[in-house]
């Protein structure tokens, strides 16, 4: 008899993710979270993770985003900043005051840089009835550089556990994720000088957020006794 366990994989692409595209294949149900994210600097969103990760938390005035994306890429996409690939536009983005020709990854971010502080990535998603009696996994396939991860008011992991360049994480969220609306919030922090991270060269300058981002291609798999796969999608 074929294994009757049903798996509900979530697909997140983060340097951020909500807005589910749901398709059914055999016994699997896939929920893709590429659209419907909101991002905001913690300098303006001063609430803690317990509040930000509650369903219904207000995000009016936040920046809309689709993942995968870095903070700067999302702000360019929504028109906050100009296209950095055109002319000298990169130098117009706040925090890009480092000397031309210098490796920004080796320098501290300027005091007035909006990317010195963590940025929130937030989304909401719905799980079907029956998800509550399953083992539920949440998988991130690439966070840069460290993050505090919250789901439904509960902290799943903190920045001390998630440091690294585009590392993958699989978190057991059984009993935390539930049928109906869920809220996921990830506070992302950029790497510091001297940390083992993604760096650029003088002819390909580093953006002012040092590529701070949430999951790039996440796949979360939900199921009774399910084990997350190891084939994270890349946006």
Q: Are 162 and 189 in contact (CB under 8 A)?
A: no
pLDDT at position 168 over 60: yes
Residue whose tokens read 């006794």: 225
SS3 call for 77: helix
Domain ranges of the chain: 7-223
- In angstroms, what CA-CA distances link 88 with 63, 185, 205, 208? 24, 34, 12, 14
Each residue's pLDDT tens digit, 97-115: 988 877 788 889 899 999 9
Q: Are 207 and 200 in contact (CB under 8 A)?
A: no
Name the most confidently modeled range: 6-15, 34-43, 94-103: 34-43
For residue 161, the model assigns a pLDDT of 87
Of all residues in the chain, what percent carry a pLDDT higher than 70? 74
Considering only 24-38, 51-65, 153-167, which range has the smallest mean pLDDT? Answer: 24-38
Q: Which of 138, 134, 145 is nearest to 195 (CA)?
A: 145
Q: Which residue has the higher pLDDT, 203 or 193?
A: 193
For residue 214, the model assigns a pLDDT of 62
Give, rounded to a whole angstrom, the gap between the first and last alpha carbons of the chain. 36
Rounded Cα distance between 140 and 193, Å, is: 24
SS3 call for 144: strand
Rounded Cα distance between 110 and 107, Å, is: 9
Q: Are 229 and 141 in contact (CB under 8 A)?
A: no
Distance of CA 5 to the CA centre of its chain: 29
DSSP code at position 208: S
For residue 98, the model assigns a pLDDT of 86
Rounded Cα distance between 96 and 30, Å, is: 40
* Cα radius of gyration rounded to whole Å, the chain: 18
Pairing of the two strands 63-65 and 119-127: unpaired
Q: Which two tokens stand for residue 182?
A: 């869920």
Mean per-residue pLDDT over the chain, rounded? 76
For residue 45, the model assigns a pLDDT of 98
Rounded Cα distance between 126 and 68, Å, is: 20
Fold of 7-223: Jelly Rolls (2.60.120)
């Amino acid at each position: 008899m074929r294994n009757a366990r049903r798996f509900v994989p979530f697909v997140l692409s983060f340097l951020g993710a909500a807005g589910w595209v749901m398709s059914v294949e055999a016994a699997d149900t896939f929920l893709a979270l590429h659209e419907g994210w909101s991002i905001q600097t913690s300098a303006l969103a001063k609430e803690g993770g317990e509040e930000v990760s509650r369903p219904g938390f207000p995000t009016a005035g936040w920046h809309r985003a689709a993942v995968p994306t870095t903070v700067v890429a999302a702000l360019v996409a929504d028109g906050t900043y100009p296209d950095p690939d055109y002319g000298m536009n990169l130098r117009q983005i706040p925090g890009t005051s480092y000397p031309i020709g210098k490796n920004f990854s080796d320098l501290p971010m300027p005091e007035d840089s909006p990317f010195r502080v963590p940025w929130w990535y937030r989304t909401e998603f719905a799980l079907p009835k029956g998800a509550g009696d399953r083992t539920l996994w949440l998988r991130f396939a690439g966070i840069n550089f460290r993050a505090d991860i919250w789901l439904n008011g509960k902290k799943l992991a903190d920045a001390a556990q998630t440091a690294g360049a585009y590392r993958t994480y699989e978190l057991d969220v059984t009993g935390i994720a539930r049928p109906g609306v869920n809220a996921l919030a990830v506070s992302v922090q950029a790497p510091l000088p001297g940390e083992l991270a993604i760096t650029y060269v003088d002819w390909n300058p580093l953006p002012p957020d040092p590529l701070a981002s949430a999951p790039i291609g996440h796949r979360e798999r939900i199921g009774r006794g399910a084990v997350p796969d190891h084939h994270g999608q890349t946006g």
